[in-house]
Amino acid sequence: MRVLAILFAGLAAPAFAAGFDRPIPQAQSATAEFWFGLGSLALIVALVVVQRLVSRR
């Protein structure tokens, strides 16, 4: 049983592991930039509305 455990431990060595390949960043598409801009504007509008609601107290 001990020999079997040593054998399996030897087979599970890092020699079988593949190296890590860093992902290459891709440029944003025009569609992604459009939706990011729209989301940013919506957030700013929401913050202005909340500020006006809170200041009316």
Q: Is the pTM of this model over 0.75?
A: no
Quote the pLDDT of residue 49: 95
> How does pLDDT run across 6-57, given as a tens digit for each residue?
767 766 666 666 778 898 988 889 999 999 999 999 999 999 999 999 997 6
Determine the pLDDT at residue 3: 74
- Nearest residue to 41 via CA among 53, 33, 29: 33
Rounded Cα gap, residues 21 and 19, in angstroms: 6
Q: Give me the pLDDT at residue 53, please.
A: 93
Rounded-to-integer distance, Cα 7 and Cα 57, Å? 74
What is d(CA 54, CA 48) in angstroms, rounded to the nearest whole number? 10
Report d(CA 36, CA 33) in Å as an integer: 5
- For residue 17, give the 3-state DSSP assignment: coil
